[in-house]
Amino acid sequence: MNTIQIKDKTFAVSIPAAVIQREVARVAEEINRDLAGKNPLFLSVLNGSFMFTADLMKHITIPCEVSFVKLASYQGVSSTGTIKEVIGINEDLTNRTVVIVEDIVDTGLTMQRLLETLGTRSLKELHIASLLVKPGKLKIDLNIAYVAMRIPNDFIVGYGLDYDGQGRNYPDIYTVCE
C-alpha cells in the first residue's frame, strides 16, 4: 500500500518502516551510551509519540523510567499556536535526568511550552529526543540532542502522527500529495 486516503487528502509513503526502525534503534544506542548510570526518566508527549516511545524503549538497555504527558496544539494541517496542557506531570522531577520524547518538532512552540513547564521542576538534566524535526519551520532556538530523522516542511502522517485524528496506526510515514 503506497498511498492512503484520509478524509480529503491523499498521502504517499515517504519513510518506510524499516528506515524508521533503523533510525530509532540508532537514537536508542546514543541514549544508552550518553545516559548510562543516570536512570533517565523518559517523558513521552502524547498522543503523537506513542509509537516512537514504544519502539525506542525496546532498544533502551540502561535502567530507566517512562511516563506520559499530554499537550495539544494542532488542528488539521497547521499549528493553531495555542497550546494547552491536558494531562500534567505527576512525577517528582527534582534532580532527575529527563528525556522528552516527541513525535515531531515543527515550529517548536509546543516544545517551548513544555520546557517552560519543566523549567520550574529543579531537574538535573533535560534532553530532547524527537522522531522528526522540520528544520525549515523551526521558530524557536532549541537544542535537540536526539533526532531520528530531519524532514522537509510537508505535512506527514503515520507512525503515531495524525491528520485530523486519523492515520496514527500506520507503520510507515506518509507525506501529503499536492
Point out which residues bind Mg ion (CB under 5 A): 48, 103
Q: Under 8 Å CB-to-CB from 45, ≥6 apart: which residues? A: 68, 69, 70, 71, 100, 101, 102, 103, 110, 114
Closest distance to Mg ion from the beta carbon of 149 (Å) = 15
State the binding partner of 74 from Mg ion, ligand IMP, none, CB within 5 to 8 A by kind.
ligand IMP
**Cβ atoms of 160 and 132 closer than 8 Å:** no
Q: How far apart are the first and last CA of the chain?
A: 18
Q: Does 173 bind ligand IMP (CB under 6 A)?
A: no
Residue 27 in the binding site for ligand IMP (CB under 6 A): no
As measured in angstroms, the least distance from the Cβ of 170 to ligand IMP is 12
Catalytic residue chosen out of the listed positions 55, 103, 106, 172: 106
Toward Mg ion, which CB reaches closer, 38 or 100?
100
Told to check if 6 binds ligand IMP by CB under 6 A, we report: no
Quote the CA–CA distance of 172 and 159 in Å, as a whole number.
Answer: 6
* CA-to-CA separations, 82 to 75, 100, 109, 116, 170, in angstroms, rounded: 10, 20, 9, 15, 27
* Residue 106 bears catalytic tag: yes
Restricted to residues 117-156, the positions that interact with ligand IMP (CB under 6 A) are 155-156
Length of the chain: 178
Pairing of strands 9-15, 3-6: antiparallel
> Rg of the chain's alpha carbons, rounded to an integer?
16
Among 11, 42, 52, 74, binds ligand IMP (CB under 6 A): 74
Residue (99 or 157) nearer to ligand IMP, CB: 157
Give CA–CA dist 24/118, Å, rounded: 25
Interface with ligand IMP includes 172 (CB under 6 A)? no
* In the complex, minimum distance from the CB of residue 20 to ligand IMP, in angstroms, rounded to a whole number: 14
Active-site residue numbers?
106
User: Which stretches of the chain bind ligand IMP, using CB under 6 A?
Assistant: 48, 73-74, 79, 102-111, 155-157, 161-162
